[in-house]
Structure 1
Amino acid sequence: MIEPGKICSDLVALKSENPPGDTSGPIRYIKDFLDARGILSDVICSPGGRCNLVTRGEPRPLMLCGHVDVVPAQGEGWTHPPYSGTMEGGYIWGRGSSDMKGGIAAILSACDALLEQGESLPATLVFVCDEETGGENGIRFLLEKNLLSPCDCLIAEPSPALHPCIGQKGLCRLDLRFTGTPGHGSLYPLVGVSAVMEAMHLLEYIRGLHEQAFPVDPQLREIIQRSSDVFAEEFGIEKGTEILERISYNPGLINGGEKVNIVAQYCNLDLELRIPWGCDIHALVRGILAHAPHATVLGETLHEPSLTDPACDFVSVVCREVGAVYGRSASPILQWAASDARHLRAAGFRVIEYGPGELSTLHGTNERVAVAALEKATDIYLRIMHVYGKDLN
């Protein structure tokens, strides 16, 4: 078996920043790795080297998935160059080591170990190019082309060691353009309508949305509370229940006005909200637009909150095998961020995110992953494949 640390180091050294999005290097590495073990695969590419890989064969009961793209890294402030893949001090260092080439390395190492044991692979392997930018050329493209069949899917995204993630808040992105009535700036607010101020009025309304609470069932509330405790322990984030139970918002981009002494005729606002369970996302958008009578929607992206049934056998299997490797009880949590899991759940997959990583370093300088965490993840993936392979061997 090839150790996951070696694979992770190799993958980190293959630069795949997104943007620009060229993932041909790591996908070629993965294909060569699988070819050498008799696992056939197809590489599906879009312009710009945005390459995905899907293994061939009849649909399997399990899918192991990961993204090979990484967020960009500047060289300043790094102990080791961000694309060195340095192995030092019990860690693999570099951009993508945690998010999520470490998880991919553990998948490949587990598959290698399974084949060495003479067993058939019970999983379809899928590696995609653009999770960091929304999945248009990656998981969404593969789903639109009917290249993936619904099954139980484990995405090797970094997660707390004892807590697989089974659900995520929803997402609402609105690209708004406000139009005002220009006039001499010295006469406002008596003359003219300021597009900038109209955007500000909407943001005051948006601020109040965070105070709303939404009903959830007792089982989900229990998981929300557990998730909150994990957030406090792993990230130092307090009030985790508010993060998961309430609307969070970010006016990420705002740009308006033509000149300091002219009442602004135009203002653009790119707004993002994360949507909790129990919130009607379409009613939310209607309410926002009702408070923005001078705005036109230039772009809209909506994703409902998603959840894999915490009582299903897939969750039970993953938690049991995590607990067995760590020697402690494992339990599922929810996540405030978004990933490819939402697209897969919408297509009928039962999805769990679980993988190795130093969570405090994600998207930051000195991103790294512990070699010990890679080895434990490899063992966990191997054990899960043993469970799903019983009917195939």
Structure 2
Amino acid sequence: MNDLQALKAQLVEAVENHQDELIAFCSKLIQIPSVNPPGDTTEITAFIENYLNDVGITYQKYEAADKMFNLVASIGNGEGKELVYCGHTDVVPVGDLSKWDFDPFSGEVKDGWMLGRGASDMKAGLAGIIFATKLLKKLNIELPGKLTLAIVPDEETGGEFGVPWLLERGYVQGDGCLIAEPSSPLNPTIGQKGSYWFELEVRGEPGHGSLSPLAGRNAIVDAIRAIQEIRTLWDVEITIPEEVKPLIEVSKKYMREVEKDRLKYQEVLEKITVNIGTIEGGTKSNVIPDYCKVQVDCRLPFGITQEEVTEILTTKLDGLAIDYSIQRFGFKSVANYTPAENPVCQSIVENISYVTGQEAYGVMQWASSDARHFRQYDIPVLQYGPAYLPSIHGYNEKVRVEDIVRCAKVYITAAVDFLYQK
């Protein structure tokens, strides 16, 4: 066994021996509400600061917006490559409390599960990368280069005060990045579809409801016609670029053989998906509505740009002869990926196999994430984190404790491999 392999074996054993600290840390993160909106990360950021201070890890703290804090912390000698481990502190709202079987902010461990909002997305992953970095520091492991933590506050709303804010100002750079977002145990995500969110506003003419449809112009009725056209974006034929076809095919394999309940969703990898998310319009049942607003979430495959979608959409809606406007908001990106042969992808994938003893490979995600921002700055990136995927953003969110520990082992060994590579 060479020195590097011996070091990795030592680190896996150290994670095993300190796993109670990891689980307690994760539990406390869940117990601190950091719901976005509103996005106040004051308390959780202070808690993480204290955790880093325990072993003297230095960091910079940036308040990008009111009560939205970024932390950037580093260890290593700084004389080589830089690896970034990134995670977000914000979580989505809990929704109807009566539909939870437990307190969403309990952070309770029960029957091998960590329970609570953010358990899978993504406080377990966040705990893992912070814990792994702290453990390397505690053990006085001499790392070449630099391992940097980028802990951000504003991911769940697609906001601009987290990763993009740090990258724009040069506060985070790197030769590779791992985002501890939820993933399959053996299949990190190395590519994402693009995002195209927009609000459609349709304007009509008011009138007395007793005279409809002969009087006025019903904005809701016109919006329904518009929705019917918007939904046909799914039918747009798209030519997938040759260079990403292997990624599409291996992702379909994953959906067939691993997440078998996803088999029926294979088409989404090559289609524009359309979700009519919210509708708001009218004032009273007896008044012809003079406005209707519809928010839509589309995800874009490889092979089509946002500008092309706008052109297709405008052509469809112009043909209806309605009074409308479109305003983009939220997530905005085109499909993007990091090649599987990139060193950061290889380091994570190979160490998943090292830790689990099973074959691992990267796949494509049908949603979007902060990964797109890193790729815009030419920083290769992938996602790998503990999760019980069916519970993400839903009621009774949870994650297996063993998955939290497994991912921490991957994080700590992959950091060693990546930073020691010439």
Is TM > 0.5 for Structure 1 vs Structure 2? yes
State whether residues 122 and 385 of structure 1, in contact with CA within 8 Å, keep that contact through their aligned partners in structure 2.
no
Residue 205 of structure 1: aligned partner: 229
Match of residue 255 from structure 1: 280
Could you tell me whether the CA contact under 8 Å between 1:81 and 1:94 is conserved in 2? yes
Equivalent residues in 2 for 1:164-203 (5 A)?
164-182=188-206, 192-203=216-227
Q: Which residue of 2 aligns with 1:87?
A: 109
**Judging changes above 3 Å, is the alpha-carbon distance between structure 1 residues 310 and 257 closer, same or farther for their aligned structure 2 residues?**
same
1:41 and 2:41 matched? no
Which deviates more from structure 2 when the two are superposed, residues 75-84 or residues 183-192? 183-192
Q: Could you report, residue by residue, the CA deviation over 1:285-340 in whole angstroms, capped at 9, with x for unpaired residues? A: 12212333421234445311111123323222221111111111111111111211
Does the residue aligned with 2:280 lie in a helix, a strand or coil? strand
Correspondence 1:18-57 to 2 at 5 A? 18-55=36-73
| Structure 2 residue identity aligned to 1:61 | E
Q: Distance in 2 between matches of 1:208 and 1:50?
A: 39
Deviates most, 282-291 or 224-233:
224-233
- Residues 260 and 27 of structure 1: is their aligned pair in 2 closer, same or farther, counting only changes over 3 Å? closer
Tell me how far apart the structure 1 counterparts of residues 52 and 70 of structure 2 sit (CA, whole Å).
14
Which residue matches 2:153? 129
Partner of 1:357: 387
* Residue 333 (structure 2) aligned to one of 303, 325, 332: 303
On the 8 A contact 2:241/2:302 being kept in 1, the answer is no
**In 2, are the aligned partners of 1:355 and 1:377 still within 8 Å (CA)?**
yes
Q: Deviations over 1:186-205 (max 9, x none)?
A: 66666654322322222222
1:71 aligns with 2:55: no
3-state SS of the aligned residue for 2:240? coil
| Closer, same or farther: CA 327–218 of 1 in aligned 2, 3 Å | farther
- Secondary structure (helix, strand or coil) at the match of 2:106 reads coil
Residue 142 (str. 1) matches residue 166 (str. 2)? yes
Cα gap change, 1:137/1:111 in structure 2, threshold over 3 Å: closer, same or farther?
same
TM-score, structure 2 as length reference: 0.85
User: Where do 5+ consecutive residues of structure 1 fail to align?
Assistant: none
1:270–1:327 Cα change, 3 Å:
same
Alignment match, 1:327:
357
Determine which of 93, 96, 119 is the counterpart of 2:142: 119
The correspondence of residues 223-262 of structure 1 with structure 2, limited to 5 A, is 223-231=247-255, 233-234=258-259, 236-260=261-285
Displacement of 1:75 after TM fit? 4.0
Q: CA shift at 1:77, angstroms? A: 4.4
Change (3 A) 1:10 1:260: closer
What's the counterpart of residue 220 of structure 1?
244
SS at 2:114 equivalent? strand
CA distance in 1 between counterparts of 2:100 and 2:202 reads 42
- Aligned sequence identity (%): 34
CA RMSD of aligned residues (A): 2.5
Structure 2 residue 101 is the aligned partner of structure 1 residue 101? no
Find the counterpart in structure 2 of residue 283 from structure 1.
308
- Give the SS at the match of 1:355: coil
Name whichever structure is richer in helix by fraction. Answer: 2
Q: Give, in angstroms, the shift of residue 346 of structure 1.
A: 1.6
Alpha-carbon displacement from aligned partner over 1:68-120 (angstroms, at most 9, x marks no partner):
11122254344442222222322222221221111122112222332305323
Q: Distance in 2 between matches of 1:28 and 1:47?
A: 16
Shift in Å, 1:126: 0.6
- The equivalent of 1:389 in structure 2 is 419
Superposition deviation, residue 391 in structure 1: 6.5
State the TM-score, normalizing by the size of structure 1: 0.91
Give how far 1:238 is off.
3.1
CA distance in 2, matches of 1:106, 1:81: 23
The answer on whether the counterparts of 1:130 and 1:138 sit within 8 Å (CA) in structure 2 is yes
Q: Number of paired residues? A: 392
Q: By how many angstroms is 1:258 displaced?
A: 4.5
Compute the displacement of 1:181 (Å): 3.9
Structure 2 gaps, min length 5: 1-13
Separation in 1 of the partners of 2:283 and 2:317? 20
